[in-house]
Amino acid sequence: MAKNLNISPPLMAPVLVAEDWTDYALIDSGNGQKLERFGPYLFVRPDSQALWPKRLPDQEWRYDAAFTGQETEEMGRWRFVRRVPETWAISWGGIRFHARCTPFRHLGLFPEQSVHWRWCRDRIEARVKQAPKGEPPNILNLFGYTGLASLVCAKAGASVTHVDASKKAIGFARDNQTLAGLEDKPIRWILDDALKFVEREVRRGNHYHGIILDPPKHGRGPTGEIWKLEEGLNRLLAACSQLLAEDALFLVATVYAVRLSFLALDNSLEAALGTRSGHREAGEMAIAEQNSNRLLPTAIYARWSANS
């Protein structure tokens, strides 16, 4: 006979929903696909989490381009129904940047990340307001991709170190900096393997007030370094924890496309932070469908801040 156990109520994971866009919308999802608007253009992309039926009839799934191939494949092809420029400008939070169709089915940005952009921006602005004549907060953006988090933090008043292993991605990020009119902001663009860079920074005795990391499941550094999330995540988080200044503001980690619970990521972050005080939370990220209550899950996250 099963025993009656005294079990605490189930943990409710915070779901962070990106609802602050005007230049992006998730129009519908289902049957393993999603229909989205980026600026004036409509796209269909595969999404394995969209298990449910489509809400809209097929005739309303009009689009300018669709990505062909499985979601798990690294490369695929875009099928264009109508002409889409190589790049076009969209904006968030008063920052303009480029969208583009890439061979990896992405469009140069991850809209759900706006929940972290806003969270980091608010903490940076609060620190700058407290000490307007002091040194700007020092922020490290690892796996920085096309630099949107870097631009948000720099505009908020931070000095940013942006690290990515892709020369092309850094080039896109610098193009975004120019389009945003933020060329005068203090951003260091560094082509390097994230883990190697972080561990060198630890040896140098450098520190940061905020760290943002969005590691891929698999990846390669600029000189052939192999990155595997399951093998390197704890080592990376531990090194990042050592880089946090005594008066640090935050650390935020996002993980996509892995069979991990947010609880696993949270446990790793807790272990890395050790006895450091502050507020920690973990959960899922999602995009809300337009004209619907349905949420499309996108990633898991764990983040720490000095204050809640």
d(Cα 60, Cα 27) in Å, to the nearest integer?
A: 10
Band of residue 13 on the pLDDT scale cut at 50, 70, 90: low
What's the pTM? 0.91
CA angle 216, 219, 225 (to 5 degrees): 135
| 177 and 94 in a common domain | no
- Give the domain range for residue 89: 19-99
| 203 and 95 in a common domain | no
Quick: pLDDT tens for 271-291.
999 999 999 999 999 999 999
- Tell me, yes or no, whether 13 lies in a domain: no
| 299 and 253 in a common domain | yes
Quick: pLDDT tens for 71-112.
554 567 999 999 999 999 999 999 999 999 998 899 999 999
Quick: pLDDT tens for 19-77.
999 999 999 999 999 999 999 999 999 999 999 999 999 999 999 999 987 655 456 79
- Residue 1: per-residue pLDDT: 36
Q: Which residues contact 204 (CB under 8 A, 6 or more apart)?
A: none
- Tell me, yes or no, whether 202 lies in a domain: yes
- Residue 8: per-residue pLDDT: 41
| 121 and 81 in a common domain | no
Quick: pLDDT tens for 225-243.
877 878 889 999 999 999 9
Q: Which residues contact 220 (CB under 8 A, 6 or more apart)?
A: 165, 226, 227
Domain edge (last residue) among 99, 130, 155 = 99
- Tell me, yes or no, whether 107 lies in a domain: no
Domain count, the chain: 2
CATH of the domain at 207: 3.40.50.150
- Residue 113: per-residue pLDDT: 97
Relative to beta strand 95-99, strand 88-92 is: antiparallel
- 203 exposed, middle or buried (CB, 10 Å; 0-12, 13-18, 19+)? exposed
d(Cα 231, Cα 234) in Å, to the nearest integer?
A: 8
| 293 and 229 in a common domain | yes
| 179 and 72 in a common domain | no
| 197 and 280 in a common domain | yes
| 212 and 143 in a common domain | yes
- Tell me, yes or no, whether 174 lies in a domain: yes
